[in-house]
Amino acid sequence: MSSRERQSAAKVRLIAASDRDRAAIEKAGIEDLAVFLDGDAHAQPILRNAFPLIAVAFSEASEADLRHALIALRRLGTVPEIPVQRLDAKNGAEMCALIRSLAEGGVGRLSRFSASVASELAMLRREREVMLENYRALEDAFQARNWEPVAETFGHDPHVDPKDEGIGQLLSSAHVEQLLPVSSQGVAGVALHLHSVPKDGAELVVTLSYVESREGVAEWSVPASKLVADWNFFSLPRACGGGQKTLRLRVSSTGPEVVGLSLGFPIASERYTARSEVAHPDLDLRPLAFRVFTGLPGVRPTRMPNMIAPTDLLDGQFIEDYRLAPDLLSRIVDVSVTPVVPEFQTVRFLEHEHAVVCHPLKSGISAGAVSRAVEPGTISFSASAVIDHPQGAPAAVSFLLAPANSNARSEVAELVRKGTAKPTAFFSGWREVGPDRSVSINIHMDEPVRAPMDLMILSRAVTDSVDFSWLKVSGFRLVKQSGEALNARR
């Protein structure tokens, strides 16, 4: 058999050799079975149609080149350790003939069979991916109900009871949860009805998650300027897929203004009534006014005045959204660092509003600290602030999170002295606030905090006057990853 015929018959190269021995390998007649490697250890070898089982060398220099090249092969992770066989140039022809008989015998047949199996598996994988894409397209088409882009699958119409007191204050101090009595399969968005929307100074926070796995789906943080006193459609970038699960909707708000979230008609099933961690008479056997839509994601349903995209996708995250309890805020202590001795109490807790007042002074920083307010796993912290007097002078407000074992007053003193917080603390930066409208202050951590932290609320003057500058901070909202999520990250 000629060299060309043997090369066409060989499908996989099973021998590794150095470029120095190319002439000797060709003379021995096994060049069609060999892959030639460069001696540079940093060069990545090309192993197309090659699976070296043995390396041969005719000299010490060739053996050294091969050992350097095999170091690069180890980085691939899928190639086993390759033994190096030293051959003598005098009897190299006999040894190469023995190697050829082994390579073209049982080992060769086994390698060719493995190569054919690998090709079949790659082909099956491509066919499987095509089938899954086709199945997904058919599934989306059936979920769209006769090719309609979006269809309503369930809804509760709003109902105004003469005895309603409104749940606006409940949204700002806690949250309202609603189970959706439909399967999550194909859900592309949810609509909520609002009977009143403030002009400014409020933000509606809506979170969608799975009940069974506690995984988050998406979160919408919507300022009042983007809401309407009607149905508001909260869309998803991709319809819910996978297994059929139960969806939970959680609604809260920030800011001093009240968002008028509508309730529906009373229903018999307590499981699907709206619930909150704080008791409220209007939630007795009544659900939220909502509608659930399936179909093509990113398409606004007809007769919907707006469509709101998520501000954060929570796919695969285990999250917990909670507010600071009033009894925790009531333990706030004054840790101000200022040369001015005030004649009035600058830091105090407003029990009837679940808010904190931190009045700035003409110099230094007024500060209040709440010990161990931030729990481990917290990834973001937010609240709203406003000057609670129509003639109040503007002020600057900020948050500082420090380790629970630190000295709160020294943390504030560091900020006064250097203008920056210590490396172990999280600082939100200063935000100017006036009496005309509230502002939101946010802290987003790159990773969840690992230990409890103290919360410090800071204020300082921005003008020469601090008259009536009653700075009120409320709506303390934290988002925390649960222990399951932290374990998954590790």
Q: How many angstroms separate the CA atoms of 45 and 34, rounded?
A: 13
Type of residue at 326: P
Contact 258, 172 (CB under 8 A): yes
Across 295-310, average pLDDT: 89
User: What angle, rounded to 10 degrees, do the helices at 92-104 and 106-143 form?
Assistant: 40
Across 339-353, average pLDDT: 89
Q: What is the pLDDT of residue 42?
A: 56
Each residue of 64-118: pLDDT tens digit? 888 877 776 666 655 667 788 777 766 666 777 777 777 766 666 666 677 677 7
Q: What is the pLDDT of residue 486?
A: 41
Each residue of 175-196: pLDDT tens digit? 899 999 998 988 999 999 999 9
Q: What is the pLDDT of residue 291?
A: 96
| Per-residue pLDDT band at 350 (split at 50, 70, 90) | very high
Q: What is the pLDDT of residue 316?
A: 66
Across 384-396, average pLDDT: 91
Q: How many CB atoms lie within 10 A of CB 363?
A: 13
- Taken in order 279, 285, 286, 287, the sign of the CA dihedral is positive
Least confident of 11-15, 66-70, 284-288: 11-15
Alpha helices per DSSP H over 241-305: none
Each residue of 108-161: pLDDT tens digit? 666 667 767 777 888 888 888 888 887 877 776 665 555 567 888 999 999 988
Structure tokens given for 67: 């050992």
Q: What is the pLDDT of residue 234?
A: 96
Residues 6+ apart with CB under 8 A from 22: 31, 36
Type of residue at 115: A
Q: What is the pLDDT of residue 321?
A: 72
Summary mean pLDDT of the chain = 82
Q: What is the pLDDT of residue 323?
A: 82
Q: How many angstroms separate the CA atoms of 408 and 356, rounded?
A: 17
Beta strands in 89-245 (DSSP E): 150-155, 176-183, 187-196, 203-210, 216-223, 231-235
Q: How many angstroms separate the CA atoms of 287 and 264, rounded?
A: 5
Q: Helix, strand or coil for residue 8?
A: helix
Contact 402, 411 (CB under 8 A): yes
For a pLDDT cut of 90, what percent of the chain falls above it? 30
Nearest C-alpha neighbor of 230 from the set 295, 157, 181: 157
Residue 333 predicted with pLDDT over 70: yes
Q: What is the pLDDT of residue 45?
A: 59
Across 196-220, average pLDDT: 86
Q: How many angstroms separate the CA atoms of 173 and 40, rounded?
A: 67
Q: What is the pLDDT of residue 7?
A: 43
Decide which of 357 and 420 is more confident.
357
The phi and psi torsions of 99 (rounded to 5 degrees) equal -65, -40
Q: How many angstroms separate the CA atoms of 329 and 317, rounded?
A: 28
Q: How many angstroms separate the CA atoms of 229 and 234, rounded?
A: 14
| Per-residue pLDDT band at 286 (split at 50, 70, 90) | very high
The phi and psi torsions of 466 (rounded to 5 degrees) equal -125, 25
**CA 361 remoteness from chain centre:** 40
Q: What is the pLDDT of residue 6?
A: 45
| Per-residue pLDDT band at 5 (split at 50, 70, 90) | very low
| Per-residue pLDDT band at 312 (split at 50, 70, 90) | confident
Across 360-386, average pLDDT: 90
Each residue of 417-440: pLDDT tens digit? 888 888 888 898 898 998 877 787
Residue 385 predicted with pLDDT over 60: yes
Each residue of 215-229: pLDDT tens digit? 888 889 898 889 999
**CA 441 remoteness from chain centre:** 21
- Residue 307 belongs to what H/E stretch? strand 307-308
Q: How many angstroms separate the CA atoms of 471 and 379, rounded?
A: 26
Contact 203, 222 (CB under 8 A): yes
Each residue of 18-63: pLDDT tens digit? 888 888 878 777 778 788 887 665 555 566 667 777 888 888 888 8
DSSP state of 21: G
Least confident of 39-53, 163-177, 242-256: 39-53
Q: What is the pLDDT of residue 488?
A: 41
Residue 372 predicted with pLDDT over 60: yes
Q: Are strands 333-334 and 319-323 parallel, antiparallel or unpaired?
A: unpaired
Contact 334, 364 (CB under 8 A): no
Structure tokens given for 261: 């979230």
Residues 6+ apart with CB under 8 A from 405: none
Q: What is the pLDDT of residue 44?
A: 56
Contact 377, 488 (CB under 8 A): no
Q: What is the pLDDT of residue 46?
A: 62
Q: What is the pLDDT of residue 252?
A: 87
Contact 438, 385 (CB under 8 A): yes
Alpha helices per DSSP H over 244-329: 326-329
Across 346-375, average pLDDT: 92
Beta strands in 173-270 (DSSP E): 176-183, 187-196, 203-210, 216-223, 231-235, 246-254, 260-261
Q: How many angstroms separate the CA atoms of 460 and 471, rounded?
A: 10
* Residue 352 burial by Cβ neighbours in a 10 Å radius (0-12, 13-18, 19+): exposed
Contact 415, 427 (CB under 8 A): yes
For a pLDDT cut of 70, what percent of the chain falls above it? 84
Q: What is the pLDDT of residue 398?
A: 93
Contact 198, 379 (CB under 8 A): no
Q: How many angstroms separate the CA atoms of 70 and 37, rounded?
A: 9
Decide which of 83 and 363 is more confident.
363
- Taken in order 14, 17, 21, 22, the sign of the CA dihedral is positive
Contact 158, 291 (CB under 8 A): no
**To 5 degrees, how large is the angle CA 299–CA 305–CA 310?**
55
